[in-house]
Amino acid sequence: MKKTETTIEKDVFHILKNSPLKDLISGQIYRRGMRPADSGAEDVVVKFLAGTDGQFQDGVVVINAYVPDVAIDGNNGRKVENIARVEQLEQAIVALFTHYVATEYLFGITDTPQSLHEPEIEQHFIYTRLNFRRLSL
C-alpha cells in the first residue's frame, strides 16, 4: 500500500519523537509549519521534500535541528554559532539514521549535514537530507 507525503512525514516524525534525540535537545520535535516563530529552544523540524511512486517509494525528508546562537566575551554582544552544540546534534542525527533498523523503511544520509545561519532569530540550523526507500506492495 502506498503512503502519502503527510503519512511519510508523520512516520519520520514518530521515529524522531521516540529516539534519544528528543532527550538531547532542549526543545521539541515538530512537523513542518508547527514550530513556534518565537522559539528560542533547540527544536527539530521534519518536512517531506520529495517522493516517487512505484513498487518502491523513494524520496527525501528534510530534518532541520535549530540551535540558538551564543554570545561570546569581547564580541560587543554579537552572537555566534554554538559550534560545539551543532556538532553534537549533527552526530546524533547521523548516528540515529545510520543505525536505525526498520522493516518498512531504508534510510540513508547521502549529503553531509550542514549548518545554516538564521540571522533574524539568532540561530543556526542543521540541514539534513534524509533519503528513504519503502516497499509499497
Cα–Cα distance, 71 to 85 (Å, whole number)? 14
Please tell me the pTM assigned to this model: 0.91
CATH assignment, 5-135? 3.30.2000.20
How far apart (Å, rounded) are the C-alpha atoms in residues 69 and 25? Answer: 14
Instruction: Calculate the average pLDDT of the chain.
Output: 92
Tell me the C-alpha distance between 123 and 42, whole Å. 9
Question: CA 88 to CA 23: how far, in whole Å?
Answer: 13
CA angle 83/84/85 to nearest 5° reads: 90
Summarised one tens digit per residue, pLDDT across range 65-107 is 999 999 887 667 788 999 999 999 999 999 999 888 777 899 9
In the chain, DSSP assigns E strands to: 29-31, 44-52, 56-68, 70-71, 79-80, 105-108, 114-118, 123-135
Phi, psi of 95 (to 5 degrees): -60, -40
Q: pLDDT tens digit string along 28-42?
A: 999 999 999 999 999
